Homo-oligomer: A and B are copies of this chain.
Amino acid sequence: MKMVEIYDTTLRDGTQGEGVSLSSLDKIKIAQRLDKFGVTYIEGGWPGSNPKDMEFFKEIKRLHLKKAKIAAFGSTRRGKTNTKEDFNIKALLDSKTEVVTIFGKTWDLHVKDALRVSLEENLKMIYDSIAYIKSRGRYVIYDAEHYFDGFKANREYALRTLEAADEAGAEMLVLCETNGGTLPGEISEIIKTTKSVVPAKYGIHTHNDSGLGVANTVIAVELGCTHVQGTMNGFGERCGNADLCSIIPILQLKLGCRCVSDKNLRTLTELSHFISEVANVVPAKNVPFVGDSAFAHKGGIHVDAVMKNIKTYEHIEPELVGNRRRVLLSDLSGKSNIKYKTSEMGLELEMDPIQLKELAHDIKILEHKGYLYEDAEGSFELLVRKKQGTMKNFFDLEGFRLIIEKRQENEEPFSEATIKLKVNDVTEHTAAEGDGPVNALDNALRKALEKFYPNLKKMHLTDYKVRVLDGKEGTLAKVRVHIESSDKEQTWSTVGVSENIIEASWQALVDSINYHLIKDKQTKKKKKQ
């Protein structure tokens, strides 16, 4: 079995992505998870360019990772300086990592236009930097920046930069497709030639500017590269780095390579979502392997076929990467999808064919209004229960009023909600404040209901999302609110839609509480039996 080293640069190259920003503490959290997952290297940062990365290197050393080696990243010494006194080289050594990754220039254009030194001086800069850091006992990886563009512009010079790095003792030569514009055919030809002229251990580092980041990496591994650099979720500058969440499963499940254990591979989806969450990036749904839609079936014919034999429309078993199959409710689908969905949720569907047809029709109309049940299974269950008559009415709203008042330009507004409702003919009229209008409303509703349903204290809202549905009318637009709630046992999602954000939030709040009350009642019933 071919071993392939995974070199994760989410913490360095990944943070160059638009909207990605990680604190030192975030970086520590991610590094610990990457270690647990089993990557070989974690590139922690560029100490010469970003002084706050030093904090990370110091802290991570104390934590004694199990498997992963921490790498510090930096450029060669600058032109005409003494290597030992170069600021960047010093910072790399001061970060005290076991591994140092040095990047150097391959492309003559960059040497002339960006570095502004002679071609010969650049070769010396590469050689000196690697040799010196090696002499200080570090394991050195060499990143040949812009390797493929450099090769296309001046093949002989590009190869000489690799020779310089190899002679200086670099343990791994990494061919970097920095601008992301090289096609698979070129990648393949260039790697073959390079390996025949400069025999060494090779790695690959690609970017996704042409949508080819994953393909170019896979091709390089097929040609003998044993070290892969990339980022989780493909975070990175412009269109991102090669996405390790695609590359690792391809190498391991399709090419028979070994990157991490099969057991850990089953945690890939969770890891991907964890990293998105820490980075505060909404995970894309339609991404390969780990996306929520990656194994979601919508077309009726596909749902039908998958129910007969899953191989018909799935290239791997979703569980191998910790993902799951989903059947979507949508206006493209019909009664069979509702049946599949309810059975998947363990919900008994006590409904005659006419009711079922009506329900399918109702869902179509609601989806047309903007409700989305694909990720609001709580609200979906309540719809089914209402239709089949197994929904209990836990309270009746008599009304609520929200007041938001701002008295000075630099002061946060004050939010207060009053609510009046009835439970079994007992009226409750109460008020509460909150940090915002929805929070105040949530507080008031709970305050009114907890007297009757004390177990409500066990549940809390864990996520609140707002999506503007039709942006083109400004503040008049319709919004969809999506709420996630949990108690100790489970998590559920609900949805609300209105032109009024308070009304949309109210609908999702009420569904969330009703769902909890139903489940709570079922639990009590079971305990009694």
Which residue of the partner chain B has the closest CB to A242?
Answer: B211
Complex: chain B residue closest to A113, CB-CB: B309
- A239: B residues at CB distance < 8 A: 286-288, 291, 293-294
Q: Kindly report which residue of chain B lies nearest to residue A311, judged by CB atoms.
A: B109
Binding stretch for chain B, among A125-133, A404-412, A521-529:
A404-412
- Whether the Cβ atoms of A471 and B465 lie closer than 8 Å is yes
| Stretch in contact with the other chain, from A76-84, A158-166, A340-348, A497-505 | A497-505
Which residues from chain B contact A468 at a C-beta distance below 8 Å? 463-466
Q: How far is the CA of A286 from the CA of B16 in the complex (A)?
A: 12
* Cα of A234 to Cα of B208 in the assembled complex, Å: 15
A49 contacts partner chain B, Cβ-Cβ < 8 Å? yes
Surface stretch bound by B, among A90-98, A175-183, A350-358? A175-183
B contact residues around A238 at 8 Å (CB): 286, 293-297
Tell me the minimal C-beta distance from A417 to chain B in angstroms: 9
Interface residues of A in 477-495 (CB under 8 A from B): 477, 479, 483-485
Chain B residue nearest to A207 (CB atoms) is: B315
Contact A436-B475, Cβ < 8 Å, known A21-B331, A397-B406, A399-B408: yes
Return chain B residues, CB-CB under 8 Å to A502: 404, 406, 413, 415, 436-437
Interface status of A316 (Cβ within 8 A of chain B): yes
How many residues on the A side are at the interface (Cβ–Cβ under 8 A)? 131
Contacts of A214 in B (CB 8 A): 210-212, 215
* B315 close to A222 (CB less than 8 A): no
Q: Is the CB of B16 within 8 A of A299?
A: yes
A18 near B286 (CB under 8 angstroms)?
yes
**Which residues of chain A from 201 to 233 have a CB within 8 Å of any chain B CB?**
208-216, 218-219, 222
Instruction: Decide if A31 is an interface residue (CB 8 Å cutoff).
Output: no
Nearest residue in B to A255 (C-beta to C-beta)?
B183
Residue of B314, B374, B476 touching A435 (CB-CB under 8 A):
B476
Q: Is A302 part of the binding interface, using a Cβ–Cβ cutoff of 8 Å?
A: yes
User: Is A506 at the interface (CB under 8 A from chain B)?
Assistant: yes
How far apart sit A209 and B255, CA to CA, in the bound complex (Å)? 16
A519 → B minimal CB distance (Å) = 18
Is there a chain B Cβ closer than 8 Å to A336's Cβ? no
Tell me the complex Cα distance, A506–B404, Å: 12
With A474-B442, A479-B466 in contact, is A330–B21 under 8 Å at CB?
A: yes
A38 sits at the interface (CB 8 A) = no
When the two chains form the complex, which single residue of B222, B237, B405, B472 contacts A402, counting CB atoms closer than 8 Å? B405
Asked if A503 and B412 sit within 8 Å, CB to CB, the answer is yes
* Chain B residue at smallest Cβ distance from A330: B21
Known: A212-B218, A309-B113, A397-B408. A434 touches B475 (CB 8 A): yes
> Taking the complex as formed, is A2 at the interface, i.e. its CB lies under 8 A from any CB of chain B?
no
- Give the CA-CA distance A353 to B215 in the complex, in Å: 47
Question: In the complex, which residues 233-265 of chain A have their Cβ closer than 8 Å to any Cβ of chain B?
Answer: 234, 237-240, 243, 246, 250, 254-255
Contact in complex: A436, B255 (CB < 8 Å): no
Given A109-B312, A185-B219, decide whether A17 and B286 contact each other with a Cβ distance below 8 A. Answer: yes
Q: Bound state CA distance, A1 and B85, in angstroms?
A: 55
Q: Please give, as numbers and ranges, the residues of chain B lying within 8 Å of A503 by CB-CB distance.
A: 406, 412-413, 436
A110 touches B312 (CB 8 A): yes
Which residue of chain B is the closest to A212 with respect to CB atoms? B215
Asked if A313 is at the interface of the complex by the 8 Å CB criterion, the answer is yes
For A299, what are the chain B residues with a Cβ–Cβ distance below 8 Å? Answer: 16, 237
Is residue A439 within 8 Å, beta carbon to beta carbon, of the partner chain?
Answer: yes
Partner-B contacts on A (CB < 8 A) = 15-19, 21, 49-50, 109-110, 113-114, 178-181, 183-185, 208-216, 218-219, 222, 234, 237-240, 243, 246, 250, 254-255, 277, 280, 284-289, 291-302, 304-305, 308-309, 311-316, 328, 330-332, 367, 372, 374, 396-397, 399-409, 412-413, 415, 434-439, 441-442, 460-472, 474-477, 479, 483-485, 498-503, 505-506
Interface CB pairs A-B, < 8 A, 25: A19-B374, A21-B330, A109-B312, A180-B288, A184-B184, A209-B288, A211-B288, A215-B216, A237-B297, A238-B286, A239-B291, A239-B293, A397-B406, A399-B408, A402-B403, A402-B404, A404-B502, A412-B498, A415-B500, A436-B502, A438-B475, A438-B501, A442-B474, A461-B475, A463-B468
9 pairs of A and B residues whose beta carbons are closest in the complex = A181-B315, A461-B474, A215-B215, A436-B500, A211-B214, A211-B246, A466-B466, A463-B471, A402-B404
Other A-B contacts than A210-B246, A413-B500, 12 sampled, CB-CB below 8 A, are A16-B302, A16-B332, A21-B367, A114-B309, A184-B218, A209-B289, A239-B286, A280-B469, A399-B407, A400-B405, A439-B475, A439-B499
